[in-house]
Amino acid sequence: MYGYMGKVLRVDLTGEKITEEPLEEEIAKQYIGGAGLAAKIIYDEVGPDVDPLSPENRLVFVVGPFQGTNIPWSGRHDIACRSPLTGIWAEGSSGGFFGNAFKRSGYDAIIFQGKASKPVYLYVNDGETEIKDAERLWGKDAYETEESLKKELGDKVRVACIGKGGENMVKFAGVMSDMGRTTGRSGIGCVMGSKNLKAVAVRGTKKVEAADPEKLSALVRGMVRANRAWAMEPPFANYGTSIWLDLFNDFGDVPFKYWTLGGGSDLTSLGGLKMAEEILTGNYHCYGCPIGCGREVKVTSPAKYAVEGSGPEYETLTAFGPLCMIDDLAAIAKVNDICNRYGIDTIETGSLVAFSMHCYDKGWITREDTDGLDLIWGNADAAIALVEKIAKREGFGNTLADGLKPAAEKIGHGSSKIIMHVKGQAFPMHDPRAMPGTAINYGTSERGACHLHGASIIAEYGLGSLSPFSLKNTPKKFSLEGEPAMIKASQDVADVFDSLVQCKFSAPGITMQFVVTPSLQAVLLSALTGWDVNVKDLLKCGERMFNLKRLFNVRCGVTREDDMIPEMVPVKGGSKGYVPKGEELEEAINEYYELRGWDNDGVPTKEKLMELGIS
């Protein structure tokens, strides 16, 4: 199989047994790889009665056909399972160098099942595999674990591991790799911890063969030349995703004070421009990436916030900044480092800290409840201390470590009515009141509230044709008209990206770099595999994957009610008091279901499944 290694590794941690299985070409054609292949595996093997933290849950590490090649923006890998946070589909995608080494070690996927009797890690070295003791690593943070394994196995080894958050089964723990890259959302690291699996270490030198290497090389050279031509104004290279904080605030897209204030508020010490001026030391490139959006930072003063290494991105800056009303860049860089080391999702963690501050402000919790922490708005030191408690499941931190819904149920006082989540997963830092299509996207995303499985930002604000620095002059709309079709299409495209696996920052208009479209991806995939793939075939694959994940969620109990975002209060500022809700939102969901070929409760119809070839 050109473009694939043709092998799936199955690791039974309970029986300490490792077996190889072939990757069937027909399955690869239907689901491509990455999250699509993981969806097929998990749908077939994880029933609705399987507890996410039981040995019967599957944890699937997976790559796609583009990994191990020189196709730009392919330095990624996916991990999937049933989520302990939401109880439904969970997947995460991460950049760095782990995915390339994983693919070249000889496998397209690794399926973990069972539970080890003691902490272990898996070592894959050019097709040679071994389950190894990890008791000495248990208790180490993610950075220490990676450094220790590289010292033991060699610098060319790439490591994906959990920190104490995963060990303590914090339900939004992620999996860390490459000293700061993360598959952060949905609690994948929690499942890894439940299996006593501390790390996966890979080393690979095997070659990924292409069906038409000359054509593929020519296509890649053309992409590189076109990228250079487009990169006259590269905001992502210079500022990373943190530039969104500068640009989207006036739009009303940046949430403040746990969603009680809209964008347009003052940001005196935050954002990409300020980061570049004060703490930025360089940028970080994933494998095969011409952009380099990763941030490298250094803070020396004050000493309590001293940190050097991977810096915060937009979601982290906003979750711990405006959402918590913390106006201190050094403090946010520090809390980002703490979350990375413990291996916990910064969106979920920042949301929980902000929610706690809101409850504290309301008088629903006091210092007696918070172990003495003064959780007033903007208290950076209290926020950092609370993050430590969450990761360690200590005191009030243990109240929060299972996520927003359980925390609100424990706190009471009607706090369940103010949590911003879908299916138990916290809102990312983009506001549906400013970007209306986000209400549909958050509601219907396969893994709960998610900004990466649909592109309402691009379509609503014309980023495909405008420089990001001209956003302030872009007209806005406040309605859901036309949004269902756009969200449906962009979700299918997102699943294509997550199956190839390719970074979405190469997608139209995101970075003002060269635009990677499904049409180009179809040509690349054809040259790589020798298949005759056109853009319609590729988008049908995306739709097939999305529907299979929906079937998994329906089987887990998801209904129409779960596709509705919580009631949001109108706010002043960039969103001008607009809220997508009520009859308008219900009608938009109806239209979305009809476009999807689902019934009125959000269940894919038999006709749609037959059309997509899902038995």
Q: Which domain CATH number covers 93?
A: 3.60.9.10
Which pLDDT value is given to residue 229?
58
Which pLDDT value is given to residue 523?
97
Which pLDDT value is given to residue 275?
93
Is 337 within a domain? no
Task: Retrieve residue 525's tokens.
Answer: 């995939």
Residue with tokens 């509705």: 564
Contacts of 303 (CB under 8 A, 6+ apart): none
Host domain of residue 473: 434-615
Is 516 within a domain? yes
* Residue ranges of the chain whose pLDDT lies below 50: 232-233, 462-475, 511-512
| Measured distance CA(192)–CA(165) in Å, rounded | 11
Is 450 within a domain? yes
Is 529 within a domain? yes
Residue that terminates a domain, selected from 142, 172, 203: 203
Cis peptide before 302 (omega within 30 of 0): yes
| Measured distance CA(240)–CA(60) in Å, rounded | 29
Residue that terminates a domain, selected from 146, 172, 203: 203
Is 601 within a domain? yes
Residue that terminates a domain, selected from 176, 203, 230: 203
Is 283 within a domain? no
Is 368 within a domain? no
Best CA proximity match to 146, nearest among 129, 125, 165, 162: 162
Which pLDDT value is given to residue 456?
58
What does pTM read for this prediction?
Answer: 0.95
- How far, rounded to the nearest angstrom, does the alpha carbon of residue 387 sit from its chain's CA centroid? 20
Task: Retrieve residue 454's tokens.
Answer: 């649909």
Q: Look at the chain and report how many structural domains it folds into.
A: 2
Instruction: List, in sequence order, the alpha helices (H) in 324-411.
Output: 329-342, 346-362, 380-392, 396-400, 404-411
Which pLDDT value is given to residue 468?
43
Is 590 within a domain? yes
